[in-house]
Amino acid sequence: MDPRHSKQLSERLASGQKKVRDGAIREVLTRLEALEKLLRKSDGRMKGLGRKNESLEAEVHGLLAEKAKLENMARKANRDFRVCAVLSEERWRSEGGVGISAAPWAESALLEQHGEWIAKNFMELGPWAFSKRVCRGRASPLELQELYIKAAVRMLDLSEASKEAIIANVEERPWEGSGKGIARMLVGRREITKRIYAWSRLLGGGAGWDEQTARKASYTVSPFAALAEGSGYTPFGHGWRVMLFGQLVADALSPKARTGNEAFERKWALARLGMLWHDIGKACAPNELMRKHPLHPDEREMLREHPSDGVRLLHGISGLAGVRGPAETEILQVVYDHHEKVSGSGYPHGKGAGAISVWARIASIADVLDAMTAGRTYKSPVPAAAAVAEIMRKAGCQFDKAMAETFVQAVGEDRKLRKRMVEIIGTHGIKPD
């Protein structure tokens, strides 16, 4: 780029950013100043009374909450301005001036002008390389991942309610505050990519999976899968533990059946990806609904749509990224049917035993094992023995009878299986590498 153009661009970005800060944020700062006066006034009244006053205390708490909300708004606006400036400038540099005629200073305008470019770079490069190679470290992987989700949602064929819920869940930034933001939002991404690539040797054939395809599948799907767990309704890493429990169940059922059977291994590799991503549809449900208990009947029905939402999401992401993997049959079978019961009383379609794939039946046991041993926001975890006993109790009703009985018997007789089960229970989300 011509140095003169680069200088003009930098000056333009700086002046535009200053103009917006002086205008758009002024209202927020004015409201904050008014709140500070009210807080001082309330504090003075409380001191004058010399005793506790519940109504005044409630007023102060309300003002403090409003202040925190406004401060968050100001921080987000500043972050948006910075990221918008960085991405606009970098696209200008990489494409010789494309897309900068009306520099966006708000996130909505950024996504309108550069959404497809952001999604394409994220899917091709992943969060770290996009941050380092395209943005030169001036926008973090987490910031880019947020923008990728918002950009991708605009291009996916989802209902408006689902799109709004996904955006609201991202705006909540549930991965902040733990001191492990990247670990929580990008949990195990590299390890998952390694596994997908290892399995891709089995997925070769007509699927055409190679290392690049494996990376792309991981980059495009994992952000939504992580977002689905962001509400905190279960300890983070639920999908990962369900995949590990699924492997445990399969080993208990037929430890030698897969040896040398390439067709089975290929399907089993895909089924494990389905277990990893089985709850991805919960990204389309509002976080407050995920945390709520008990649910009203209409809310329960809304939440029971998450298997169908997950299938639509994986189909859309697969088409957007141009990779077939996320929409493979075995993956979708697990996502769609993991809440079906052999009695026909499950959801979303009340399928009977004969209509539920073997992969989904394994996933159903694995899902309940983690739900019981990891706990929920409204339910404490139980010991492994109690979870195994519950599997046995519901054999033939919720779970495949022969599969559940064989699993329970194997766990009772094999000390190594019991040890692996305890190790999985202690895995509250894999460590980032």
Written as one letter, the residue type at 119 is A
Q: Are residues 81 and 208 in the same domain?
A: no
Residue 364: how many CB atoms within 10 A of its CB? 30
Using an 8 Å Cβ cutoff, are 81 and 17 in contact? Answer: yes
Grouping H, G, I as helix, E, B as strand and the rest as coil, residue 395 is: strand
Q: Would 211 be classed as within a structural domain?
A: yes
- C-alpha 396/C-alpha 377 separation (Å) is 28
pLDDT of residue 127: 82
Q: Is residue 127 part of a domain?
A: no
Task: Report yes or no on 67 lying in a domain.
Answer: yes
For tokens 């010789």, what's the residue?
96
Question: Is 229 within the bounds of a domain?
Answer: yes
User: What range does the domain containing 293 cover?
Assistant: 190-425
On whether residue 150 sits in a domain, the answer given is no
CB 366 within 8 A of CB 245: yes
The residue out of 63, 98, 133 marking a domain boundary is 98
Q: Within this chain, do residues 270 and 381 fall inside the same structural domain, yes or no? A: yes
DSSP H or E segment with residue 358: helix 358-374
pTM of the model as a whole: 0.78
What is the predicted pLDDT for the residue at 179? Answer: 40
What gap in Å lies between CA 172 and CA 174, rounded to an integer?
Answer: 6
Nearest to 325 by CA among 155, 180, 203, 163: 203
- Whether residue 94 is found in the same domain as residue 194: no
Q: What is the pLDDT of residue 238?
A: 86
- Same domain, residue pair 244 and 386: yes
β partners of residue 379: 376
153, 220 in Cβ contact below 8 A? no
Residue 242 included in any domain: yes
For residues 249 and 356, state if they share a domain: yes
pLDDT tens for the chain, residues 1 to 433: 444 444 554 555 555 555 545 555 566 566 667 766 776 776 666 666 655 556 656 666 766 777 677 666 666 666 666 777 677 767 766 665 544 444 455 677 778 878 888 888 888 888 888 888 888 887 888 888 888 999 999 999 889 999 999 998 888 776 554 444 444 444 445 555 555 555 555 444 444 566 677 777 778 888 888 888 877 777 777 888 898 899 999 989 876 555 556 777 778 888 888 998 999 999 999 988 888 888 899 999 999 999 999 999 999 988 887 777 677 788 899 999 999 999 999 999 999 888 999 999 999 999 999 999 988 878 889 999 999 999 999 999 999 999 999 999 999 998 999 999 988 887 654 333 2
Nearest to 221 by CA among 279, 280, 137: 280
* Same-domain status, 228 and 89: no
Same domain flag for 267 and 390:
yes
The answer to whether the beta carbons of residues 401 and 256 sit under 8 Å apart is: no
> Which DSSP state fits 14?
H
In a domain, 104, yes or no: no
State the total domains in the chain.
2
Any idea what the Cα angle at residue 405 is, between residues 401 and 410, rounded to 5°? Answer: 150
- Dihedral sign (CA 287, 288, 292, 298): negative
Amino acid letter, 75: R
CATH number for the domain including 197?
Answer: 1.10.3210.10
- Residue 138 inside a domain? The answer is no
C-alpha dihedral sign at 253, 255, 261, 265: positive
Contacts of residue 212, defined as CB under 8 A and 6 or more positions apart, other chains included, come to none
* Whole-number Å distance between alpha carbons of 233 and 30: 37
306 and 279 in contact (C-beta within 8 Å)? yes
Q: Single out the residue in 52, 79, 98 at which a domain terminates.
A: 98
End residue of a domain, out of 31, 63, 98: 98
Q: Are residues 324 and 215 in the same domain?
A: yes
Cβ atoms of residues 262 and 196 within 8 Å: no
Name residue 376's amino acid: R
Verify that 93 and 212 share a domain, yes or no. no
Distance CA 279, CA 364 (A): 12
Q: How far apart are CA 219 and CA 139, in angstroms?
A: 17
Q: Which two tokens stand for residue 276?
A: 């990893």
In this predicted structure, what is the pLDDT of residue 121? 87
Shared-domain flag, residues 195 and 94: no
Phi and psi torsions of 102, nearest 5°:
-130, 85
Cβ atoms of residues 362 and 271 within 8 Å: yes
User: Hey, what amino acid is at 279?
Assistant: D
pLDDT of the residue at 141: 81
Q: Contact at 8 Å (CB) between 122 and 189?
A: no
Q: Dihedral (C-alpha) 318, 210, 187, 433: value to the nearest 10 degrees?
A: -170
Query: What's 354's DSSP letter?
Result: G
User: Do 386 and 248 sit in the same domain of this protein?
Assistant: yes
